[in-house]
Structure 1
Amino acid sequence: MNNTRLLVSGSAGSAITELVIPALLLRTPNAPWSQLVHIYVPQGPTVAFSGRDLRSPGITEATELARAAGFEPVVRSPGGRMVAYDSGAVVIDHLDSTTDIRHAGASTFAANAESHVRVLRGLGAIDARIGEVEGEYCPGEFSINVGGDTKVVGSAQRVTSTGSLFSTVVQVAVSDRVHAVITDVSKALGYDLRQSSIAGLADYEPALTATEVAAAFVADYRDRLDMIDSELPPEMVAHAAKAHGGSPFRVDDWTRSNPLLA
C-alpha cells in the first residue's frame, strides 16, 4: 500500500482556485500519495456554500449579498452549511486516498477535532472545546468552540470512491465584513444565528495572526502524521486557475466537466 504523506502549505490562488484544487485531488485516480494535507491562509474573501444551502429558497439573495459585500460565492465540494472567511482565517484540506465511503462518519470528525483542539490550546490562553454552541453558523457536533460560547473552527467532509476530503476552517481574526456577511447570508438562507457566537482566536489571544496559526498546524501535521513537505502539482494548479462559471460557482459541476487529463 502506498504510504506517502505529503504536506503542502501556502495559498494557491483565488477563492475559486483554492476550492477547485481539493476537488481535483479527490478525483485523482491511483494517487501517488496516501494522504495529502494542504494548509493555507486564503487570498480572497469567500462565502463557501454547500449543496444543502442551494436548496434554500433564499440562495439567490444570499449569493447577491455575498457578492455585494466583496466575497466570492462558491459552492464547495464538502457538505455542511455556509461559512464565510477572508485572510484572517486558515483552511486545512486533508485528502486521504486510502479511505472510501465505508470510512465516512463521526469517528473522522472526532479524531480531527481532538487533534485540532490540542493545537489551539498550545497557542495560548484559549479554552478550546469540542461541541456545538447555541446559535452557531454551520452547526455541527464536532465544531470547536471557546469556553462553550463562541465557534472558532468548523469542518466538513466529502467521501467518494477515490478517497476522502476533510476540510476545516479556523477563524483567527474575524473582520467586521466577515461577521456581517455571515449574519446577512444566514438570514437570507433562513438559518438561525446568534451573532455573539461568531468569533476568532484573536478575540482571546489578540497577538495571534493567521500566518502563525497556519504554521502551528503545519508543524502538527508534519510531526503527528510523519508528513513530507511538498508542493501541489503545478499542472493541477494551472488547470484549477482556469475555473470560472456561474454565480455561485459550483466546484463539483466544473471539475466533472473539466477533468485534469493525465
Structure 2
Amino acid sequence: MNTFDQTRLLASGSTGDAVTELVVPALLLRAPSASWSQFVHVYVPQGPAVAFSGRDLRSPGIAAATEVAHAAGFATVVRSPGGRMVAYDSGAVVIDHLDRTTGIRHPGGATFAANAESHVRVLRALGDVDARVGEVDGEYCPGEYSINVGGVAKVVGSAQRVTATGSLFSTVVQVSVSDRVRAVIEDVSDALGYDLRRSSIAGLADYAPALTSQEVAAAFTADYRTRLGMVDGKVPAEVVAHASVANGPSPFHVDDWTRAHPLPAT
C-alpha cells in the first residue's frame, strides 16, 4: 500500500448535469495551477448523455446522430478525451483521473494497459465476473484496452487527453445498460456509419445481476484510495459553479467552451 499523500485527492459523487460533469475535468486539466498532483473523481452520472469525440464530428452523419440522441432524451456533448462515441445514464460509473506529474502524461499503450489491468482486478473482485482486457469484435468505441466479459461483450472503455498542464484519463464502466442506452448506442452508431455488433453491448449486471452502480463506484473509489495512496477530497466548489453555467450549440463542445472560459488564476 502506498503512503497517503495530501496532494493526491479522491472525490466522489456527481457534480451536476451531463454537460457540467464533462466540463469539470476539462477545466481542472487546463487550470493554470493546482494544489494537487493527482485528482480522481468517481461518480454515477445524473442523466443520460451521448459523449461524442472529435473524431465523431468528422462523420457526415454527425447531425443525424445528434438528432437521434436528442429524440431519445440524451444530452449531446463533445468530450475532451479522444476515442469514439459512448452513451450512458445512471446505470454507469465514470472515473476521471487527472495527473500533473510526468508518470501518466504521455499518451500511448502503457497508460491504457496499466489502467485496464487495475480495473480488471477491481471487476473480478466484485463477484463472478470474467473480466478480460481486449477489444471484442464489433464493439462500440473500439479499443485494444477495452474491458470485456468472457471475450463476448464490452463493459468498460477509456480515453485520454494530454495537454501542457497534465493528462485526463477517463473511463466509463457500464454496470446496468438500460434499453434506452442500448438503443441509442445502436441508432447513433448507425447514423455515424460505424459497424456495431449489437450483442457486444452489455453491462456488468448482465453477468452479476446483484451489482449496482453505487457498489461499483464504491469499489473503484476504494481501489484508487489504497492503490495510489489518495486522500478523500472534493471537487472545488468554484470549479463546479464555473462549469454549471456552460452552454452552447448542440452537441456542446467541451474543449471549445473551456478554452473560451478558463478558470481564473488563483
Q: Please give the range of the TM-score, normalised by the shorter of the 2 chains.
A: over 0.9
Change (3 A) 1:8 1:193: same
Query: Which of 191, 204, 224 lines up with 1:188 in the alignment?
Result: 191
* Contact 1:171–1:199 (Cα < 8 Å) also in 2: yes
* Contact 1:40–1:91 (Cα < 8 Å) also in 2: yes
The count of corresponding residues between Structure 1 and Structure 2 is: 261
Structure 1 residue 95 displacement after superposition? 0.2
Report the counterpart of residue 172 of structure 1 in structure 2.
175
Measured against aligned partners, the alpha-carbon deviations of 1:118-140 in whole angstroms (never above 9, x if no partner) come to 00000100000000000000000
Structure 1 residue 30 displacement after superposition? 2.6
* Contact 1:137–1:193 (Cα < 8 Å) also in 2: yes
Report the counterpart of residue 209 of structure 1 in structure 2.
212
> 4+ runs of 1 displaced by more than 2 Å?
99-102
The percent of aligned pairs where both chains have the same amino acid is 78
* Contact 2:19–2:77 (Cα < 8 Å) also in 1: yes
Structure 1 residue 260 displacement after superposition? 1.2
Residue identity in the other structure for 2:127: G
Residue identity in the other structure for 2:113: A
Structure 1 residue 34 displacement after superposition? 0.6
Tell whether 2:70 aligns with 1:67: yes
* Contact 1:100–1:159 (Cα < 8 Å) also in 2: no
Residue identity in the other structure for 1:76: R
Separation in structure 2 between the aligned mates of residue 99 and residue 51 of structure 1, nearest angstrom: 25
Report the counterpart of residue 100 of structure 2 in structure 1.
97
Separation in structure 1 between the aligned mates of residue 83 and residue 34 of structure 2, nearest angstrom: 26
| SS of structure 1 residue aligned to 2:211 | coil
Tell whether 2:165 aligns with 1:158: no
Separation in structure 1 between the aligned mates of residue 218 and residue 72 of structure 2, nearest angstrom: 29
Structure 1 residue 29 displacement after superposition? 1.8
* Contact 1:41–1:210 (Cα < 8 Å) also in 2: yes
**Where does 1:120-159 land on structure 2 (aligned, <5 Å)?**
120-159=123-162
TM-score by length of 2: 0.96
Query: Which of 23, 33, 39 lines up with 2:26 in the alignment?
Result: 23
Tell whether 2:2 aligns with 1:7: no
| SS of structure 1 residue aligned to 2:173 | strand
